[in-house]
Amino acid sequence: MIRQFFFSLFFFLLGVSGFLFTLTSLDPLGSQQFLAVCILLVTFFMAMVPFWTGVFFFGKEIFIKQSLGPKAFRVALRRGALMALFLSLLAAFQFFRMLGIIEGVLLLFLFVSVELVCLSSRKDKMASQKVQESKS
């Protein structure tokens, strides 16, 4: 609960400071457009995380047709955050005119490999638990 509070407080302070910088024209980088785009991308990311988490969690719940627990929600939250980060980086690359097919494929490969690493570590933990149970 405390972590969620500080996480929300951090993004609130980031948004308020960006608003004040834009309002008073105190942009440290000298370009109001750059600061506005950065804040837009952060808010885009913060909006996409709960959306994709809901899609992954409730989509799985609809297809399985049973109630899922908190572990499935954590997996959906991780996947939602990865998807939101992927889309935010694609939007940033597109805005700064740096997005090409190679960059998009490399970015997709990066996020797929992160998800595979998360899945493989979970399988390794389950395999080690089975080995320990068989020894007992």
Confirm whether 119 is domain-assigned.
no
Lowest mean pLDDT among 39-43, 77-81, 110-114: 39-43
User: Both tokens of residue 128?
Assistant: 């080690």
Confirm whether 31 is domain-assigned.
yes
Confirm whether 39 is domain-assigned.
yes
d(CA 125, CA 15): 39
Confirm whether 129 is domain-assigned.
no
Residue 83 CB partners (closer than 8 Å, separation 6+): 48, 52, 56, 111
Confirm whether 26 is domain-assigned.
yes
Model pLDDT, residue 74: 80
Confirm whether 81 is domain-assigned.
yes
Nearest to residue 82, comparing CAs of 39, 49, 119, 118?
49
User: Each residue of 92-102: pLDDT tens digit?
Assistant: 888 778 888 88
d(CA 116, CA 82): 12
The amino acid at 91: A
Model pLDDT, residue 99: 81
Nearest to residue 118, comparing CAs of 79, 85, 84?
79
CA-atom Rg of the chain in angstroms? 20
**Domains identified in the chain, total number:** 1
Q: Is the pLDDT of residue 27 over 60?
A: no
**Whether the Cβ atoms of residue 45 and residue 84 lie closer than 8 Å to each other:** yes
Confirm whether 110 is domain-assigned.
no
d(CA 71, CA 56): 13
Is the pTM for the entire model greater than 0.85? no
Confirm whether 121 is domain-assigned.
no
Model pLDDT, residue 123: 62
* Mean pLDDT in residue range 12-23: 64
SS3 label, residue 49: helix
User: What is the residue range of 59's domain?
Assistant: 2-99
